[in-house]
Chain A
Amino acid sequence: MEAIIKVENLIKKFSSFTAVDNISFNIEKGERFAFLGPNGAGKSTTIKMLTTLLDPTSGTIEINSYNPNKNKDLVRKSFGIVFQDPSLDDDLTALENMEYHAVLYNIPANLRKKRIEDLLNFVELWDRRNDLVKNFSGGMKRRLEIARGLLHHPKILFLDEPTLGLDPQTRNHMWNYIKDVNNKEEMTVFFTTHYMEEAEKMAQRIAIIDKGKIIAMGTAEELKKKTDTKTLEDAFLKLTGHEIREEEAGGIDRMRMMRRMHGR
Chain B
Amino acid sequence: MKVVYILWLRQLKKYVRSRSRIIGSLGQPVLFLIAFGFGFGPVFQRAGQGNYINFLAPGIILMSVLFTAIFSGIDLIWDRQFGFLKETMVAPVSRFEIMLGKTAGGATVAMIQGIVVFLLTLIIGFRPHNIAMLPTAFLFLVLVALLFTSLGTVIASTLEDMQGFQLIMNFLVMPIFFLSGALFPLNGLPSALALVTRIDPLAYGIDGLRGALIGQNIFSLTTDLSILLVITLVLLLLGSYLFERIQI
Please indicate whether A and B come from the same complex rather than being unrelated chains: yes
A105 touching B92, Cβ below 8 Å: yes
Asked whether any CB of chain B lies closer than 8 Å to the CB of A81, the reply is yes
Asked whether any CB of chain A lies closer than 8 Å to the CB of B174, the reply is no
A89 touching B92, Cβ below 8 Å: no
Question: Can you name 19 A-B residue pairings with CB atoms under 8 Å?
Answer: A53-B86, A54-B248, A55-B247, A73-B92, A76-B91, A76-B92, A89-B14, A89-B87, A90-B82, A91-B18, A99-B6, A104-B6, A105-B91, A106-B92, A251-B81, A251-B161, A255-B78, A255-B82, A258-B162
How many Å lie between the Cα of A99 and that of B6 in the bound state?
A: 9
- Which size bracket describes the interface of B in this complex? 20 to 34
Partner of B13, one of A53, A91, A105: A91
1/0 per position for B1-22, CB-CB distance to A under 8 A?
0110110001001100110110
**Nearest CB in chain A: distance from B82 CB, A:** 7
What A residues does B248 contact at CB under 8 A?
48, 53-54
B90 touching A52, Cβ below 8 Å: yes
B13 touching A92, Cβ below 8 Å: yes
Closest residue of chain A to B88 (Cβ to Cβ) is A104
What A residues does B84 contact at CB under 8 A?
87-89
How many Å lie between the Cα of A102 and that of B20 in the bound state?
A: 30
Asked whether any CB of chain A lies closer than 8 Å to the CB of B39, the reply is no
Closest residue of chain B to A85 (Cβ to Cβ) is B83
- Which positions 227-256 of chain A face chain B at CB distance < 8 Å? 251-252, 254-255
How many Å lie between the Cα of A207 and that of B2 in the bound state?
A: 41
What B residues does A73 contact at CB under 8 A?
92-94
A255 touching B81, Cβ below 8 Å: yes
Asked whether any CB of chain B lies closer than 8 Å to the CB of A100, the reply is yes
Asked whether any CB of chain B lies closer than 8 Å to the CB of A86, the reply is yes
A87 touching B83, Cβ below 8 Å: yes
A53 touching B89, Cβ below 8 Å: yes
A103 touching B3, Cβ below 8 Å: yes
How many Å lie between the Cα of A53 and that of B6 in the bound state?
A: 22
Instruction: Given A54-B247, A255-B161, output 12 extra A-B contacts at Cβ < 8 Å.
Output: A52-B89, A53-B247, A73-B92, A81-B90, A86-B82, A87-B86, A88-B87, A92-B10, A92-B13, A99-B6, A100-B87, A263-B20
Closest residue of chain B to A53 (Cβ to Cβ) is B248
What B residues does A54 contact at CB under 8 A?
247-248
A263 touching B161, Cβ below 8 Å: no
Asked whether any CB of chain B lies closer than 8 Å to the CB of A126, the reply is no
What A residues does B162 contact at CB under 8 A?
255, 258
How many Å lie between the Cα of A90 and that of B17 in the bound state?
A: 12
Q: Which residues on B are within 8 Å of A, measured CB to CB?
A: 2-3, 5-6, 10, 13-14, 17-18, 20-21, 24, 78, 81-84, 86-94, 161-162, 247-248
How many Å lie between the Cα of A54 and that of B86 in the bound state?
A: 11
Partner of B6, one of A74, A76, A100: A100
Closest residue of chain B to A252 (Cβ to Cβ) is B81
Closest residue of chain B to A54 (Cβ to Cβ) is B247
Instruction: Please provide the 9 A-B residue pairs with the shortest distance between their CB atoms, ordered closest to farther.
Output: A104-B91, A76-B92, A87-B83, A73-B92, A103-B6, A255-B81, A53-B248, A87-B87, A77-B92
Q: A105-B91, A105-B92 are in contact. Are A259 and B78 (CB under 8 A)?
A: yes
How many Å lie between the Cα of A104 and that of B83 in the bound state?
A: 16
A264 touching B18, Cβ below 8 Å: yes
What B residues does A255 contact at CB under 8 A?
78, 81-82, 161-162
